[in-house]
Structure 1
Amino acid sequence: MDPDGGNKLAPALTHAQLDALRPHVVELQDGALATTAQLNTTAADVDAIFTTHLPAFIQARGGGPVPVMFWAHGGLVGEGQALETARQLLPWWLANGIYPVYFIWHTGLWATLGDLLASHVTGTSAAQARPAGAWTDSTDTVIEDAVRALGGPAVWEAMKENARLASIAGGGAALVAQRLQAFLAARPGALTLHAAGHSAGAQFHSHFIPAVVRPGPGFDSCSLLAPALTTGEYKATLRPLVGAGIASTAVFGMKEAVARADNCFGLYRKSLLYLVGGALEPHPGTPILGLQQSLLADAELRLLFSGSHRAAAVWSIADTGPLRSRSSATSHAAFQHDAPTMDSVVRRITGRDNIISFGAASHPGVLSAAARMAR
């Protein structure tokens, strides 16, 4: 039921697999470093990224500069699925010469939202009587009202709070930002910085990126995939940094017609981002950055994303034009698994079109050979 994949059963990782992830994963709970999770992260683990693992990667790459990518997953992705995705994709990032750091952040009660919604809808006689395919915008409005009545805004706000807490004093992401700043102060020019995230991952980065940039270095790229961030929040947090802390940014989303053909939980017949703006934000109809019509309706954002070299908006299906501006995602969940989208992100990070495609991520032998050649 989870459009972000959070309810998929991920295989339990072995101790050896978890240890292999430790140089690339920072796991958080309520914003702080995780202490009761599958992969508990300590301050010493964070230190080791910057004192041991990253220097070794730089040395293997000939001394730098090397790109470091900070990934934040969506709000409905469960811990097990997030760890498994990191494990599967780690070789692909490395084969492209990128050092990935995954923030695994526990997003709280929102994982129960689908079950609450399904229980409410299937428990009504109107839903039981309605034939498949007969859902309409009016039905979606009823669902939005139900989600709001079920406490959806409070759940969503709690998830936002987890994202905020991570990057303030005492937060796990704040510690990463501090260690990153210290590393670059000691080794200027050794890294280029990049942020990427899916859905509510944009909420996370709206706090993490400013925490890095305000006192320290800037990001070379920021790629937001179907961002579940209001246009107002974006303009208050990340927009002021474009060109002054974020050299290049891109928003990947669906064209309006494609987003309206999506569904959420198999019940709500539009993209999840419509549900965010219609039911989870305090005011129904709040404009969401990842919705094409919301971005285009905002004069400031429409101008920013109208072809500037600093900002690009990629609306799927986009199968022509620059290779770093492609996407074939046709559902909210698809962006993080879509080869053209992920290839575009890597091209933006590396600055080159010749990359190891995301399609190779399911072929360990190909990635191993590519990694050896890269070294």
Structure 2
Amino acid sequence: MPKAETQNRTFDVLPDPADFRDRLYTPTLIEVPPRIDLEEYKLAKVPLLNQGSEGACTGFALATVANYLLRRRKVDPDEIPVSPRMMYEMAKRYDEWSGENYDGSSARGAMKGWHKHGVCCNELWPYEVKKIDRILTTERIEDAIMRPLGAYYRVNHKDLISMHSAINEVGILYVTAVVHDGWYNPTDAGVIPPSEKKLGGHAFVIVGYNSEGFWIQNSWGHEWAKDGFALLTYDDWLENAMDVWVARLGAPIRLHTPRATATSLSENAGKAQVYTFGTVRPHIINIGNDGQLQREGTYGMAKEDVANIFEKELPQLTQSWSKRRILLYAHGGLVDERSAVQRVADYRPLLLEHEIYPIAFIWRTDFWTTLKNILEDALRRRRPEGPLDSAKNFLLDRLDDALEPLARTLGGKHQWDEIKENGILATKNAEGAGRILLEHLDALLNTDPDIEIHIAAHSAGSIFFAPLIQLLTTSGKIKAGPMKGKSGQGHTIASCNLWAPAITIDLFKECYLPVIHNGTVKHFDLYTLTDKSERDDHCANIYHKSILYLVSHAFENTLRIPLIRDQGVPILGMSKYVEQDAELTSLFKGKRSHWFQTPNNLPEKEIGASRSQRHGDFDDEKLTLISTVSRILETAIHDADVEFQRSAASMKSEREELDTHQ
């Protein structure tokens, strides 16, 4: 990041990149006075902060905004200073630039951080210069949600009328501008003189105005200018301004039950994430490119956050349990981040009730949108304009055969390869998220070997777990597969539950089968659709079989060619390939491995019961989850209260389905 350092000050604020999604402030007809005096603002007794030499002005300026709004709140005013450090660290998570290992940030990033997380008090997250402390502890999260940001708007920085109106409405503006040498030489009256020597970007607040310019509050301590305040002329502002934001506080709420957390995260609840972040956060490992931890965004995290789960969150929550169990879960390849988090919130009440601590890998697959576009493009290349001629009905039976090579060529195989690579690298990469988790899990199990580890995965999640299971369970050197040559940790997995796994049978035999055979994985349950259900499924109503058929026929290494190479690549989640494999059919004749085809008519309270009819059903089908939990507990659970909230992806799919019938 470019920055300037002058007189021990760092100027590294960057202008907000253009984003037409910003909501723009519109002035109302409220009367705008000719001036708002500085003395009027000072009545609020807002703390005057000092950022020192670190480039953290975005956090300090926004903390000043929060301090003012909280003190001036008509109901329950709050004089406890907020944390500039939290404002600053969250700002870097929402900047458009990768990572957090840099000084400085943008105004929009800081606003997003406050909106997503709230802000805790300064006592819980104090500002200590150059001390790296980025962990969002539960204590900080729970305190922060009591100071949420409500509505916030961008103000046109060139529109002085809008700025005057916004100050009059709210009392304070959060701004950034290029500062110059005149900032080091204010007059006795606090006026910043003009200068041609530019120093860099800086964040501060505007708290009043008169006919000459804006009154500002800086974060350079009381010794600067007029007791920490200065007058910035309109000429100076119009020449050097970058960004302006105006905001109002939100109303704090508390949620006391896991069910309320899941409901508030759902698409129907709108933007309630700030209130539920702290509840779901200790159960998530967020993964970005190359399998490494995803540092940006709502659920961004660093190594310290993973350590915090194992060293603080998990021990605190499970300390009174009679038996500690950890469930590692990986979602499928068609799931976006928000839907994946929603599932964690949905599963959490049932799992915690039965003393199972879930840790979910959110690995940003979201293949669905890309796949739908690829299939639509492939279909356009195989049909004429206008309605199809009924005389060509016989060709419909061959449509899937025609779409498969096109979907492969148009990017389907490349996208699928990328998903698999990211999943594998999470453990294979020494800095991968899976590898980081395993280091902490290994230490925990060596301390308390009575803790049970369980695995559950849907679709592509089975690929994600392939190297992780190798490394976790193998004793000595690993002989084959992605982790070949590495030394395993030699731990036991109490149960492994795969729902419609997208892993190839070859990779399954390399990574899973050896440790299932030797008993290191004590119980293995496989859930697949029946072949009829697989063929009755569809992808976006374009490809008329399940996604696993498309993967098997078109996206794996060998392309299926009708009559010439009539079989696709064998996938574990497809019943027809399981039936054709002698080693697998032999496996399921034993007592420790079970294969359940769905939808089935097993009694609801029996392990293996599932009513899943499509590939995408498994992760939000009640009986499948209950059956998996029963396997983990080694006893059928009764009267389980499970409720799945509608995800954004689910609602979008339904809307698109309805659109096709207009």
TM superposition score normalised by structure 2:
0.50
Structure 2, unmatched stretches of 5+, are 1-265, 474-487, 561-567, 646-662
Q: Is the 8 A contact 1:12 1:80 kept in 2?
A: no
SS in 1 for 2:628: helix
Indicate the SS of the match to 2:319: helix
Assess if the C-alpha contact under 8 Å between 1:226 and 1:252 holds in 2.
yes
- State whether residues 340 and 362 of structure 2, in contact with CA within 8 Å, keep that contact through their aligned partners in structure 1: yes
Q: Name which of 371, 395, 409 aligns with 1:149.
A: 409
Q: Does 1:179 align with 2:440?
A: yes
Matches within 5 A, 1:129-148: 129-130=387-388, 136-148=396-408
Q: Which residue, out of 587, 596, 602, partners 1:314?
A: 596
Choose between structure 1 and 2 for higher RCO, CA contacts under 8 A separated by at least 6 residues.
Answer: 1
Q: 2:496, 2:523 within 8 Å by CA — same for their partners in 1? A: yes
Indicate which of 522, 525, 535 corresponds to 1:247.
Answer: 522
Aligned runs of 1:7-86 on 2, under 5 Å? Answer: 11-30=270-289, 31-62=291-322, 65-86=323-344
For 1:128 and 1:86, locate their aligned partners in 2 and report how far apart those are by CA, in whole Å.
44
After superposition, the CA RMSD in angstroms is 2.3
Q: What one-letter code is carried by the residue in structure 2 that aligns with 1:236?
A: E
> Do 2:375 and 2:543's aligned partners in 1 also have CA atoms closer than 8 Å?
no
1:339–1:358 contact (8 Å) kept in structure 2: no
Question: CA–CA distance in 2 between the matches of 1:264 and 1:110?
Answer: 9
Q: Compare 289-298 and 117-126 and name the one that shifted more.
A: 117-126
Report deviation, 1:58: 2.6
**Contact 2:501–2:572 (CA<8 Å) still a contact in 1?**
yes
3-state SS of the aligned residue for 1:158?
helix
Structure 1 length as normaliser, TM-score? 0.87
Structure with max Cα Rg: 2
Q: Deviations over 1:170-194 (max 9, x none)?
A: 10111111100101111221x1110
Q: Given that residues 334 and 367 in structure 2 are in contact (C-alpha distance below 8 angstroms), is that contact kept between their aligned partners in structure 1?
A: no
> Which residue in 2 is equivalent to 1:337?
620
> Relative to structure 1, is the Cα distance of residues 127 and 45 closer, same or farther in structure 2, using a 3 angstrom cutoff?
farther
> What corresponds to 2:552 in structure 1?
277
Q: Is the 8 A contact 1:342 1:358 kept in 2?
A: no
Please give the alpha-carbon distance, in whole angstroms, between the structure 1 residues aligned to 2:508 and 2:446.
Answer: 28
1:207 aligns with: 467
**Structure 1 residue 361, shift from structure 2 partner:** 5.4
User: How far apart are residue 108 of structure 1 and its match?
Assistant: 6.8
- The alignment-based identity, stated in percent, is 29
Which structure 1 residue ranges, 4+ long, deviate > 6 Å from structure 2? Answer: none
Q: Choose between structure 1 and 2: higher helix proportion.
A: 1
Offset at residue 128 of structure 1 (A): 5.1
Match of 2:426 among 157, 166, 172: 166
User: Cα distance, 1:9 vs. partner?
Assistant: 6.4
Residue-pair matches, total: 351
SS in 1 for 2:401: helix
Given that 1:254 and 1:329 are in contact with CA atoms closer than 8 Å, whether structure 2 keeps it comes out as: yes
Which residue is 2:376 aligned to? 118
Which residue of structure 2 lines up, in the alignment, with residue 256 of structure 1?
531
Query: Take 2:366 and 2:644, find their aligned partners in 1: how far apart are those partners?
Result: 29
Aligned equivalents of 2:367, 2:596: Cα separation in 1:
31
Shift of 1:230: 0.8
2-structure distance, mates of 1:119, 1:360: 37
- Alignment partners' CA distance in 2, 1:182 and 1:127: 62
Structure 1 unaligned residues grouped into runs of 5+: 1-7, 363-375
Cα deviation, 1:310-345, whole Å, max 9, x if unaligned, reads: 211100122226811111111000111112211111
**1:368 aligns to what?**
none
